[in-house]
Amino acid sequence: MNKLSPHGKFPDIAYRAFSTLEHAEQFINGSIRFGNIYHYKRIEDEKRRDKTEGESHVVYDGTDKQGMFATNTIYINCCHRTLSAALKCNLGGYVVKINAPEQFAKDLTQALEQSEAKYFGGIEGCFVEYTKGMETSIKPGGYEIVRLSYCQKPPGFTPEEEFRFVAIRKTSVGEFLTIQLNQSLKYCEIINGI
């Protein structure tokens, strides 16, 4: 069994939008779907597509610093930090309010520990930085450049106010990863039909 711990930073509340009540209920009942980070380079909705997803880019002292994760094993569950951001993104009229994001990360990490698959660390909480291609006054190290590959987006996506739960596997399982929790999520509630 893996010994894993959640890490990163977490908001007090997070919001996840769904297009159907069925998907929102599946989430509340503990069936949590993550998307492979590279999936978002190819999604059909041009407004949501980020052709630079999975790549980092900052400018330090006049020099471009870029990076990416060496494999396609990063899976993300995208949320929003505010209800208004979740609604503005037009991802669906059913919003799940996660009242305890850090506990959610702990529950997901516990499920990863019990899995036969190998994960690197537990679930990481990432406040998305809208700094892709921008200048920074702090010299980024190698670790930070790689980490930004899954925590950074272009400034044009700022209205999304995105927060991500991140799972990194040893091997890929394709476009999507479902983590099944053996409980309904008491700290979540569905805000219907907004």
- pLDDT reading at 51 higher than 70: yes
Those residues whose C-beta lies under 8 Å from the C-beta of residue 26, and which sit 6 or more positions away, are none
* Cα–Cα distance measured from residue 68 to residue 150, given in angstroms and rounded to the nearest whole number: 8
**How many domains are there within the chain?**
1
How sure is the predictor about 45, in pLDDT bands with cuts at 50, 70 and 90? low
Please indicate, yes or no, if residue 2 is contained in any of the structural domains. Answer: no
Do 104 and 166 touch, CB atoms closer than 8 A? Answer: no
Task: Using the predicted structure, report yes or no on whether residue 52 has a pLDDT greater than 80.
Answer: no
Q: Is 58 inside a domain boundary?
A: yes
Cβ-based burial of 141 (10 A; exposed 0-12, middle 13-18, buried ≥19): exposed
The DSSP 8-state label assigned to residue 11 in this structure reads -
159 touches 87 (CB < 8 A): no
pLDDT tens for each residue of 137-187: 988 888 899 899 999 999 999 999 999 999 999 999 989 999 999 899 999
Give the sign of the dihedral formed by CA 36, CA 172, CA 56, CA 9.
positive
Percent of the chain whose pLDDT exceeds 70: 91
pTM score: 0.90
**pLDDT confidence bin for 53, thresholds 50/70/90:** confident
Do residues 56 and 132 lie in contact, with contact meaning Cβ atoms separated by under 8 Å?
yes
Residue 98 covered by a domain: yes
Task: Tell me: pLDDT of 46 over 70.
Answer: no
Chain segment 100-119, per-residue pLDDT in tens = 999 999 999 999 999 989 99
| In-domain check, residue 108 | yes
Residue 153, in any domain of the structure: yes
Average per-residue pLDDT in the chain?
A: 89
125 touches 37 (CB < 8 A): no
Match 């590959």 to its residue by tokens. Answer: 149
Structural domain contains residue 176: yes
Residue 1, in any domain of the structure: no
Domain region containing 161: 7-191
Strands 188-191 and 134-136, how do they pair? Answer: unpaired
Is residue 185 in a domain? yes
Using DSSP's 3-state secondary structure scheme, residue 49 falls into: coil
